[in-house]
Amino acid sequence: MIALYTGLLLVILSIIFYIYMTRNFKHWKKRKIPFLKPEPIFGNLRDVCLWKTTIGEFCRSVYETTKEPFIGFFILDEPCLMVNDLDLIRNILIKDFDHFLNRTMTNNEAHDAIGSNILFLMKTPRWRDIRRRMTPAFSSGKMKLMSKLMIKCAEDMVDYVRKKIKHENLEVRELCGKFTTDAITSTSFGLEAGCFEQEDAPFRVIARRIYNWQFVWHAIQTTCFFIAPKLVHLLRMSFIDGLSSNFFRDVFWRTMKDREKTKFVRNDLLDILIEMKKQDQIDNVESLDGDILVAQAVQFFIAGYETTSSTMTFLLMELAHNPDIQKKVRDEIIRVRNKYGGFCYDGLQEMEYLECTLYETLRKYPIVPFLDRRCSKRYQIPGSDLVLEKGDMIYIPIMGIHYDPEYFPDPQRFEPNRFRKENSETRHNMTFLSFGDGPRNCIGRRYSLLNAKCGLAHLLSNFEVQPCPDKNEKFEFNSKGFLLQPLNGITLLFKEIN
């Protein structure tokens, strides 16, 4: 009898669970909106949840299977709308931004003091205030001062490559990771990370830890921040783990106190935050303090490190397989370098073709391959009967748009000239979204481009990159994270140029 009752209870619980997980599955049908047929538990994201594909590639596959301006789908049991129409995307990101103020990602203020205070996860109205205060840190004047620190890190990278290529080929993702860790540590925390001198430099170890999605529990937590917010709070998950948070907190306050005591000025983010605190006191407004202040430096680090290093990695891989484009880039770099008598901010800004190659890389490999927004108040979609309610989730398939042959003919081909000014101006301004758009676009766009240009200009003016003849690596994306990054290393042959 016990076995019978136990079996009956399990059946009842299974039915209740099934009903609960499918309770919203008629959401889009009732609204007479085309939608993907969901399945219990996963909705339409089974392959994403099981790490068989990335959410960016999923969005691209949906985009390519329909000509509808928008289509419904389900993340677990929650209805979402994928928007494919460029004019509607522009409305959501810019014109009607006040209806779509926040990303869908949750944050966990109770158990993630630093992670919840980075702009990417922060919600309105706090987001708007912090964004306003941080924007001056990315002005052209501030970038010009920081470029001197970047150039020093790039020179260290060239010396490192020159020594290493005598004995081995180089895995470029690790090489670029060392450079961006050094550069961002220097420009955000005011410290020399020493990644080219020490294989396991502390900042390099922490950088690897934050983006190590091969560690299963870390991958689960990252996924939950996107698709299972209730689990995030129930299991007290944090976007930045405790060990990393404590490391950043300790380094930040030690350096801040030393900087305030010695009055040393380095023209980095730390100086900007110190001046921001002083100005807040003068203006008699609530000052950024505690973990909110630490979070701004951490955000600078985690947002710039991985995105820039992956972009550089993908670009070097493309140039290795497109030697004619590589030569054209190198000729420009050397011409501009000679014009200015070395590398400098103004010279890096003048390297237009190098910038075109970066944009084309970000078209093919958008590091953040989708955009997400949560409806903040009732919204009537222009030209349709569909009304979005507060809380509804919107997804924009960046990767799908970037590979649409209507906007980018022969999209698999690497063609930097697509981003020459005369060509860009003929396209809809929503066809390239690697930095997002509107008030919630990437605040560090200018910094990331400058950092990548600096590192690449130094490498390509000193070395030619080629595919390794003894390597036949199959290129795949890492399916366990939300950013687009290579699953395995990318090894290239570096030859020094006389």
pLDDT digits (tens, 9 = 90+) for 418-469: 999 999 988 999 999 999 999 999 998 999 999 999 999 999 999 999 998 7
Average pLDDT, integer, range 251-263 = 85
Give the range among 24-38, 289-303, 381-395 with minimum mean pLDDT: 289-303
Assess contact for 483 and 370: CB atoms under 8 A: no
CB atoms closer than 10 angstroms to residue 366: 24
Lookup: tokens for 303:
């947002």
Tens digits of residue pLDDT in 48-69: 888 888 888 999 999 999 989 9
Residues 185 and 190: their CA atoms lie apart, in Å, by 6
The reported pLDDT for the residue numbered 181 is: 93
Residue 383, Cβ density class (10 Å: 0-12 exposed, 13-18 middle, ≥19 buried): exposed
The answer to whether the beta carbons of residues 232 and 106 sit under 8 Å apart is yes
Q: Closest Cα to residue 45, out of 92, 79, 85, 83? A: 79
- Separation CA 423–CA 272 (nearest Å): 37
pLDDT at 67: 87
Tell which wins on pLDDT, 9 or 299. 299
Q: How confident is the model at residue 135 (pLDDT cuts 50, 70, 90)?
A: confident
Provide the pLDDT confidence category of residue 130 given band limits of 50, 70 and 90.
Answer: confident
State the Cα angle at 431 between 428 and 432, rounded to 5°.
125
pLDDT in tens, 368-416: 999 999 999 999 999 898 999 999 999 999 999 999 999 999 999 999 9
Q: CB of 401 within 8 A of CB of 436?
A: no
Q: What is the residue type of 72?
A: G
